Amino acid sequence: MCVVALALNQHPDWPIIMIGNRDEFHARVSAPLHAWNDGSGIIAGRDLVGGGTWLGVQPALTRLVVVTNVRSGAAPDGGKASRGVLVTDMLADSGTFADPAPAMLNAFNGFSLLSVAGDTVQLFTNRPAPMVSALGAGVHALANEAEGSACPRAARLGAVLASWVTEATDTPESLFTALQAKDAPALFLCSPVYGTRCSTLVAINRDGGGQIIERRYDKGGILAEETALEFQFG
């Protein structure tokens, strides 16, 4: 993802809500949101280049993980592991990076990651330095800036979600309107080469009933497809 916000225990009906946009080169091939058939129990889209994912859930393990790239001004190091593999290992609670210690985080190019695993919610990042920190109730937002740096896109999306959980009387699907905002700081990027490929909503209610909705866009920024799946957390 490139901009994402997570609300924890801020809404009376929806204790977990995550919204975000994935910005990517349109030429990078990926599979849409689906239940993976590899025995992992993961529900996510899939990067068919790197093999991992940017956002997903594993309902049986009560896991929700999302990653954003962090800009450094330099080209990514092609010798480092895919950040999508980090997400996949953490979702499945299996593999080298299922529970990474801070010392392991420099195996990847710059990233920030939000992980919900049962009652444990954590931020993992390796910019400006490797760090793992616990998160509590509130609204947490990330984009492409290093931890502690000002980030207008993250601030805007975080404010949108904070307002919704405080004031909303409608369903979480109404948050898709904000994800398509193109005025500065733009949450939705429209370009024939690199732009917003999809918007995603994850909402989990008090009984653990969840929904994940992915809306995918073409090169012109027009809605092309939607996938909506339900799941039970735990």
What single letter denotes the amino acid at residue 28? R
Q: What is the mean pLDDT of residues 178-196?
A: 96
> Measured between alpha carbons, how far is 44 from 101 in angstroms, rounded to an integer?
24
Architecture of domain 3-232: 4-Layer Sandwich (3.60)
User: Residue 77 has what pLDDT?
Assistant: 85
Check: CB of residue 54 under 8 Å from CB of residue 66. Answer: yes
- 75-116 pLDDT, tens digit per residue, is 788 889 999 999 999 999 999 999 999 999 999 999 999 999
| Dihedral sign for Cα atoms in the order 8, 14, 16, 20 | negative
Whether a cis peptide bond, with omega within 30° of 0, leads into 128 is yes
pLDDT tens-digit map of 110-149: 999 999 999 999 999 999 999 999 999 999 999 999 988 9
Sign of CA dihedral 33, 46, 209, 158: negative
Query: Averaged over 16-31, what is the pLDDT?
Result: 97
How buried is 226 (Cβ within 10 angstroms: 0-12 exposed, 13-18 middle, 19+ buried)? middle
Q: Is residue 17 predicted with pLDDT exceeding 90?
A: yes
Show the CA angle centred on residue 210, arms to residues 132 and 223, nearest 5°.
95
Q: What does the alpha-carbon distance between residue 218 and residue 100 come to, in Å, rounded to a whole number? A: 35
CB-neighbour burial class of residue 143 (10 A; exposed 0-12, middle 13-18, buried 19+): buried
**pLDDT digit string, tens, across residues 148-168:** 899 999 999 999 999 999 987
Residue 121, pLDDT score: 97
| Residue 18 reports pLDDT greater than 90 | yes
At 54, which amino acid appears?
Answer: W
pLDDT tens digits for range 24-76: 999 999 999 999 999 999 999 999 999 899 999 999 999 999 999 998 777 78
pLDDT of residue 55: 98
Q: With 90 as the cut, is the pLDDT of residue 170 above it?
A: no
Q: Model pTM?
A: 0.96
| Contact call for residues 187 and 195 (beta carbons, < 8 A) | no
| Rounded Cα distance, 77 and 75, in Å | 6
pLDDT at site 234: 85
Q: What is the DSSP letter of 127?
A: S
